[in-house]
Structure 1
Amino acid sequence: MTNNRQSIKKATISDVAKLAKTGKTSVSRYLNGEFGILSATLKERIEQAIKELNYRPNQMARSLKKGQTKLIALILADITNPYSVEVMKGLEAACQDNGYTLLVCNINKEKAKEKYFLQLLMDYNVDGVIIHALRTQDSILRDLPFPVVLVDRRMSDLGYDIVGLDNIQATTLASNYLIDSGFEAIIFITESLTGVGTRQERVNTFKKIVKQQKGIVGEVVEIEDMNQQTELLDQHIVSFCQKCRGMRKAIVTVNGSVTLHVSLALKRLNIIWGKDIGLLSFDDPVWASVAGVGITTLRQPTYKIGYSSFEMLHRRMQGDHSEAKEYLYPGELIIRDSTN
């Protein structure tokens, strides 16, 4: 038996022209809104033919003819990261407001996927790309045929605009708050620093501030894979607590994803944040206000960052060839009982 869906032939512009008793050029003018050179009778016939045939123009073909596809791509390192999701919301809203469609490519922290998606997007002829991913494909990034904006990733040597958090301001705000609150020992826990300039900025700023303070113990722990190295994370936390016994201690996490892993580690170790140890997180996941006694966070204007990334990209797509710029937004400290 023939599938009914497969047996239904999709109407073409030639079918519309034939039913409306006119040429394809007139139908094309109608579809492009060039009504001034069409008679009222002809417009009515074309409109009726489109309705009868349920004709839908090939938007991709029309866009390519105009030299643009109205497609924007977002490449993410990890779509499960709450920060990435919030940035994506702002970007998607900007695309909708400006008549663009957003394609989302999740590389899931796999280097091969990053290369694959970059090559695929060139084949799709997208109008521009926003990248919030790993820095593993510089050779390809240098030769992309479309504008690029980087979110929360510093690759200034590639000549692309950057939008994200002012990491120096944010880390200074968070570190000074903990020190002023009487914490004497602070451990900064981060994922891999390799190729991620924003994490390096946070860590370096933290080290600099701690070094300037007498009597403050500061430690940085870098763990490559939080999912696979839970035992190592536990060991670092236990070691820190033992070395700093008797001191007021706090943990700073580099992002929301690490915050979740640290929260689970503290539960495994029966350490209560807000009582046994302080906890401060970069990013402000929705659960931070309800987990335990709440978690103090450094909130980033993620929606605004996402929306602004499109605006920056759109200017480039419109022909702005000025020097690359950095748009950095300040963070906001949200104080909860984890640091009281």
Structure 2
Amino acid sequence: MNSFSAAQRSRVTMLDVAERAGVSKASVSRFIGEDRALLSDAIALRIEQAIDELGYRPNQMARGLKRGRTRLIGMLVADIRNPYSIAVMHGVETACRQHGYSLVVCNTDRDDEQERLHLAALRAYNVEGLIVNTLGHHLDQLLELQREMPLVLVDRKIEPLHSDLVGLDNPATVRMALDHLEQQGYRDILLVSEAPDGTSSRVERLESFKSEIARRPTLTGTVLEIDGHLNAPLHAFVRKTPARAKALFCANGVAALACTKALRELGLTLFEDIGLIAVDDLDWYPLVGSGITALAQPTEAIGTQAFECLLKRLRGDTESPRTLDFLAQLIVRGSTSPT
């Protein structure tokens, strides 16, 4: 057993091992690499003894870079504070660990320049694959990276990238929401959404809402994009005639929070004056009034599947890009139970 300190071990080099064992540096490299079988038993034993005596620890990152294998996966997210991104990221990271990979996460804060810098950094880190949950405004960089490594998209399509896409089945989610509201007796529906801004999932929800309303004669529907001034349009929606049962359909957690705040400021009774259903199922949904009815996204599963798609590509899968859409789960609470 050697008595080297951690600091001393960290300074031991491959050359030190070679000199102690009386062999070449190339032989030590073969021993700690994947070519140990090329060495004689006697030389392998001397190297093993020298490593033990010196307390040598190979630099795994350097070895990985030399072989083109770093076991690093990159993930680019638009907003790391978003609960959706956090949950998806956790699913990705858990799957990475289970397969012996480490995850490098870069947050763009929805800033195009930051996205450009992060993409360059991830390339410099020699990540083996990339998971992207941003708008992808730097298409030239993404296309270049895609030529070098597999790339998987989460929640948002980026044209013309031909990559696997994992996310929510938005048309089915909208149908589920409107089916529930219609069954509960609501007839006048206001979809509240952040501005699309090129985000494919938001666009899909808006388009699906309009097409579903058009084929349901018992319902009327309107779209309201969040611009920081919700009180006036929400008040007008609640008070407009005819006095039919009205409900808000919030396209995500951001819209749900904005609507809940506005309804409180307007002095409306949650949820007697108006119903509310929202995509996502955030921790605070059950705590508001009698609870907010949710269309929960399987975010952890989305993250896990994104990594599984990437792993298949890393292992040589050359099939055409796949789109994997998960179904939301309807969780009924008091916000859609008219009294």
Tell me the distance in 2 between the aligned counterparts of 1:253 and 1:108: 23
Unaligned runs of 5+ in 2: 1-5
SS of residue paired to 1:131? strand
Structure 1 residues 53, 192: closer, same or farther in 2, change over 3 A? farther
Once the two structures are TM-superposed, the CA of residue 222 in structure 1 deviates from its matched residue by 1.5
Aligned to 2:182: 179
Find 1:207's aligned residue among 203, 206, 210: 210
The 2-side partners of 1:46 and 1:154 are apart by: 52
Paired residue for 2:328?
Answer: 331
For 1:89, the equivalent position in structure 2 comes to: 90
Structure 1 residue 164 corresponds to structure 2 residue 136:
no
- Tell me the CA shift for residue 304 of structure 1: 1.3
- 2:238 and 2:273 in contact (8 A); partners too: no
Secondary structure of 2:106's partner?
strand
Partners of 1:319 and 1:48 in 2: CA distance: 38
Q: Distance in 2 between matches of 1:124 and 1:194?
A: 30
3-state SS of the aligned residue for 2:217? coil
Alignment correspondent of 1:309: 306
Once the two structures are superposed, what CA deviation does each residue of 1:62-117 show, in whole Å capped at 9, x if it has no partner?
Answer: 11221222111111111111111111111111111111110101111112111221
Residues 7/51 of structure 1: CA separation in 2 closer, same or farther (3 Å cut): closer
Greater shift, 77-86 or 6-15, is seen at: 6-15
Give, in whole Å, the separation in 1 of the partners of 2:48 and 2:175.
63
- Give the CA deviation at 1:266: 2.4
Instruction: Determine if the alignment matches structure 1 residue 19 to structure 2 residue 16.
Output: no
Letter of the 2:232 partner, please give it: Q
- Give the aligned partner of residue 220 of structure 1: 223
Asked whether the 8 Å contact 1:159–1:324 carries over to 2, the reply is yes
Which of 241, 245, 250 aligns to 1:248? It is 245
Could you tell me how far 1:44 is from its partner in structure 2?
5.7
| 1:276 partnered with 2:273 | yes
CA displacement at 1:55 relative to structure 2? 3.1
Q: Matched residue of 2:109: which SS?
A: coil
TM-score (norm 2): 0.88
Distance 1:247 1:54, change over 3 A: farther
Query: Does structure 2 conserve the Cα–Cα contact (< 8 Å) formed by 1:185 and 1:244?
Result: no
Q: Name the counterpart of 2:233.
A: 236
Cα distance change on mapping 1:49 and 1:7 into 2, 3 Å: closer
Q: Distance in 1 between matches of 2:236 and 2:53?
A: 74
Q: Percent identity?
A: 40
1:146-161 alignment runs, 5 A limit: 146-155=149-158, 157-161=160-164
Distance in 2 of aligned mates of 1:7 and 1:76: 40
Secondary structure in 2 matching 1:157: coil
Amino acid at match of 2:163: Y
User: CA 1:251 to 1:54, structure 2 compared with 1: closer, same or farther past 3 Å?
Assistant: farther
CA distance in 2, matches of 1:46, 1:266: 73
RMSD value, Cα: 2.5
Partner of 1:297: helix, strand, or coil?
Answer: strand
TM-score by length of 1: 0.88
Tell me the number of residue pairs that the alignment of Structure 1 and Structure 2 aligns.
Answer: 331
> Which moved further from structure 2: 78-87 or 22-31?
22-31
Query: Does structure 1 retain, via aligned residues, the 8 Å contact 2:202–2:251?
Result: yes
Q: What does residue 191 of structure 1 align with? A: 194
Q: Does the Cα contact within 8 Å between 2:167 and 2:302 map onto a contact in 1?
A: yes
Tell whether the 8 Å contact from 1:82 to 1:257 is kept in structure 2 after alignment.
no
Could you say which residue in structure 1 is the equivalent of 2:3?
A: none
- The residue matched to 1:142 in structure 2 has which SS? helix
Which has the larger displacement, 40-49 or 106-115?
40-49
Q: Return the offset for 1:247.
A: 2.4
Q: 1:322 aligns with which of 316, 319, 322?
A: 319
Residue of structure 1 in register with 2:29 after alignment: 28
Q: Please state if 1:267 is matched with 2:270.
A: no
C-alpha displacement of 1:15: 2.0
In structure 2, relative to structure 1, the CA distance for the partners of 1:135 and 1:179 (3 Å cut) is farther
Which one-letter code corresponds to 1:148 in the other structure? Answer: L
- The residue identity in structure 2 corresponding to 1:98 is H
TM-fit CA distance, 1:262: 2.4
Q: Which amino acid aligns with 2:68?
A: G
Shift in CA distance, 180/48, structure 1 to aligned 2, threshold 3 Å: same
Contact kept, 8 Å, 2:10 with 2:57, in 1: the verdict is no
SS at the partner of 2:17? helix
- Amino acid of the residue matched to residue 120 of structure 2? Q
CA deviation map 1:251-303 (0-9, x unaligned) = 11111232223222223333333222211111111222233211111111211
| Conserved 8 A contact 1:75-1:130 | yes
